[in-house]
Chain A
């Protein structure tokens, strides 16, 4: 099995080198068979990567501890669901996932552009295969997932308990899909620049891939935020951590590209900008992978002690230098076909939107890499915290939300100020009404939050107005009822109206962010059973403790050996609201030196957060029970002393005694309570954004018909062909 995996990697590397050579030779000599052969190399690579991935997955599911990767990330007690996901819990497995997804998305891209952009796709094939070769080289040279140990250990270390959360199954593949999809437009951009075919064709072909990358990265980011909120026990969803920022930067570049490519498609403008954005998307995606793999910046997510920094720095340097060279050397063919007609136009709004997005990406880039910049310039490593990020990102986010309302209602090419104001009258009134309503509730001291509510109201009103006008016109012209007319409107122009839905989602998301970050109440009290705490108008009453002692039936189904928690009754104004059951799970460390009982709970403790969500507020609770209380320590030490490590059944009984002692003589526990308004709107907004993105990514029926009819000559034309 291990040799099959390594063999697949070696074969993959050979296929990559062959494909790169064949594609470049085919493009240079104009021989289609070599270009086709290069493309088929990508399909072959996808097959070899599927084989390699399957080998590791089978090893995990069959508990093959001979594989180092399996022994380090799984164990007999790890639930099956998490065993399957453990493949990307390790450095080695993550690299394999990257290669697999990259090969699959590359295959799809080349399949979809077959018969078009022959020369561009030939160079793109070479670039895509070069990325795959790089990652396979990393696996073979630095982090091989198929390295084995003989004799094999009798048990694995188990998946890190922090990763035992359902999102583990989806979040990493989503982020990696986003990163690998960012590489596809990058490769085609490089192909277009090398072959000097920088018309809108490659952009049109890549729009869907940029949008897919944007959707996947967005889903991954939001799932990560949700994971952080519901699992990590700190009650936040975003901390400006280096690895969080790493995924956000390419997402921002994607967002800018999705908007600016429309200007090139419609007006032949911004060619240099679009080529630069595509280069930035690809480079930032690799940089994101680099941040996680290299451990170069302090982050809870980073793989520390990793050795992949140097190869990644070389790759990133090559991408940046190569991209700059290509853009500068092709500036003659990248000239704009038109100029900006007026500052009051949709092009200007898009341009401003791009500048804001680029500004956001730059601020985040600077803040994220500031420790390295500071060390290089002053010799002293220093870092900036969330307040610094907030100082710049909040005003930029306000402008962005405002523009998401202005863009849809302003005309292309040239609009008059009077006309623009007429279209914006209703949204402005709504924004003012929202601000007045928020201030009317007695909110004070949070001006930026109030402005954000106003901007979001403005954007929602502007988009609603566009939908309303479009539906009314369609309903009048076709005689359809408004709901059907609305459906027809979206169907006919999925791209436009899908985009507007995304704007609605963004407004909802920012409402959630502004409300929850500005008006949150938090407290970390130490409570004994029977004690209460008042927070944000709610009373949290610690009713009784809870304890469960089996690896199979802990409340969160994560394989915790011992779970200690609390029943907390929540009331408001004397009326019952809900009951929360926060707990902390303790896990087997697999380390016999901790003793027969000690190792069962000596692993990483993890909070199992209790959450009660409504659209208006979240009640969030976590607990850190005192497992080192003297009465519990006494039982633990006695158990360790009396029971040898090779008699686990008796150790479990001692663990049961500890649980019972905790219920009888409960020590004071440290709680963390939060009352946060409107957090649910962040997830609802993200859901709407994803839905809008999906609507926009699928071609309208007319576009499919047009493309198919272009490829297939009409049979009647063949029959009626006049002989020469």
Chain B
């Protein structure tokens, strides 16, 4: 075969493969992604069985352990609406009341079930002292 034709065919094959892979990547990222919602948005739009990334602040005095299960509520960053979460799995050290967290949840009845090991603590004061509002009160 003519070398230049051979090169063209190789180029077309390589480009087709690259475009196919990129398309698969883009498609799966949209289909596998969890929308990031605030508690208020979640209350109004959650569909049972679908995963959502819930972002908000852990409500004061809402944290309790029952065996391996951690119960807590998350409220809007600037608001009072909150949703209860039932979570099992790893709990990051910085998790505490008043701290911003992100957890992947699914609606089951009136409860929101946290996906195992999906709890992330977003620390707005990372590397600095905790502001008084977030500090634990005794």
Chain A residues at the B interface, C-beta cutoff of 8 Å: 72-73, 89-91, 157-158, 160, 162-163, 232-236, 298-305, 339, 359, 362-363, 366-367, 370-371, 374, 380-385, 387-388, 391-392, 524-526, 589-591, 593-595, 597-598, 602-607, 624, 626, 636-637, 640, 670, 672
Q: Chain A contacts of B67 at CB under 8 A?
A: 526
How many angstroms from the CA of A89 to the CA of B130 in the assembled complex? 14
A sample of 23 inter-chain contacts (CB < 8 A) reads: A73-B128, A157-B128, A160-B128, A233-B90, A234-B90, A234-B92, A301-B126, A304-B126, A362-B25, A363-B25, A366-B26, A370-B33, A374-B33, A382-B34, A382-B35, A383-B34, A392-B25, A526-B65, A526-B67, A591-B129, A591-B132, A637-B138, A670-B65
Given A301-B126, A363-B25, A526-B67, 6 more A-B residue pairs with CB atoms under 8 Å apart are A158-B129, A163-B127, A233-B90, A304-B122, A604-B94, A605-B96
Task: Report A-chain residues with C-beta under 8 Å of the C-beta of B73.
Answer: none
CA distance A591 to B21 in the complex (A): 54
- Give Cα A301 to B67, complex, Å: 30
Closest to A639 in B: B138
Give the contacting residue for B137; candidates A597, A598, A605; CB below 8 A.
Answer: A598
B136:A594 contact, CB within 8 angstroms = yes
Contact of B135 among A385, A388, A594, A637 (CB under 8 A): A594
B121 within 8 A of A: yes
In angstroms, Cα B26 to Cα A604, docked, is: 39
**Hey, which chain B residues are within 8 Å of A524, CB to CB?**
68, 88-90
A367 to B29, CA, bound (A): 7
Please tell me if B113 contacts chain A, counting CB pairs below 8 Å. Answer: no
Highest count of chain A CB atoms <10 Å: which of B29, B96, B129: B129
Q: Which of B14-62 contact A (CB under 8 A)?
A: 21-22, 25-26, 28-30, 32-36, 53, 55
Number of chain B residues close to chain A: CB under 8 A: 46
Q: How far is the CB of B57 from chain A (nearest CB, A)?
A: 13
Residue of B nearest to A593 (CB): B132
Contacts of B94 in A (CB 8 A): 162, 300, 604
Docked CA distance A589–B131 (Å): 10
Query: Cα distance A670–B70 when bound, in Å?
Result: 11
- In the complex, what residues of A have CB within 8 A of residue B32's CB? 384-385, 387-388
List B residues 107-138 near A (Cβ within 8 Å): 117-118, 120-130, 132, 135-138
- Judge whether A72 and B129 touch: CB under 8 Å: yes
> Taking each of A157, A304, A374, A525, which has the highest tally of chain B beta carbons within 10 Å of its own beta carbon?
A304
The answer on a CB contact under 8 Å between B121 and A73 is no
Q: How far in angstroms is the closest Cβ of chain A from B11?
A: 11
Residues in chain B near residue A607, CB distance under 8 A: 93
Q: Output the residue of B25, B120, B128, B135 with the most chain A CB within 10 A.
A: B128
Could you tell me if A304 and B28 are in contact, using CB atoms closer than 8 angstroms?
no
Q: Is the CB of B93 within 8 A of A162?
A: yes
Given A234-B92, A637-B138, A640-B138, answer yes or no on A526-B68 (Cβ-Cβ < 8 Å): yes
- Shortest distance between the CB of A167 and any CB in chain B (Å): 15
Contact A591:B135 (CB < 8 A) given known A162-B93, A300-B92:
yes
Check if B85 is an interface residue, CB within 8 A of chain A: no
Number of A-B contacts (CB under 8 A): 144
Report the separation of the CA atoms of residues A362 and B25 in the bound assembly, to the nearest whole angstrom: 10
Given A89-B127, A160-B126, A234-B90, CB of A371 within 8 Å of CB of B36: yes
Q: Quote the shortest CB–CB distance from A62 to chain B (angstroms).
A: 20
Asked if A589 and B129 sit within 8 Å, CB to CB, the answer is yes
B53: A residues at CB distance < 8 A: 382-383
- Chain B contacts for A603, CB-based, 8 A: 130
Cβ contacts under 8 Å, A305 to chain B: 124
Chain B residues with CB under 8 A of A303: 126-127
Alpha-carbon distance between A121 and B7 when the two chains are bound, in angstroms: 37
A385 touches B122 (CB 8 A): no
Chain B nearest CB, measured from A357 CB (Å): 14
Chain B, residue nearest A235 (CB): B90
Interface pair B138/A636, CB less than 8 Å apart: yes
Chain B residue with the shortest CB-CB distance to A591: B135
- Given A157-B128, A160-B126, A607-B93, A382:B33 Cβ within 8 A: yes
Rounded to whole Å, the gap between the CB of B7 and the closest CB of chain A is 8
Taking CB atoms, residues of chain B closer than 8 Å to A91 are: 127
Which B residues are in CB contact (< 8 Å) with A90?
127-128
B68 CB to nearest A CB, Å? 5
The answer to whether A602 and B129 touch (CB under 8 A), given A384-B32, A388-B32, A672-B90, is no
Taking a contact as CB atoms under 8 Å apart, the answer to whether B36 and A381 are in contact is yes
Residues of chain A within 8 A (CB-CB) of B137 are: 593-594, 598
- Give the residues from 52 to 107 in chain B that come closer than 8 angstroms, CB to CB, to chain A: 53, 55, 65, 67-68, 88-94, 96, 102, 104
Distance in angstroms from A609 CB to nearest chain B CB is 10
| B65 shortest CB reach to chain A, Å | 6
Q: How far is the CA of A234 from the CA of B132 in the complex (A)?
A: 27
With a cutoff of 8 Å between Cβ atoms, the chain A residues found around residue B102 in the complex are 298
Residues of A within 8 A of B122 (CB): 298-300, 302, 304
State A367–B30 Cα separation when bound (angstroms): 10
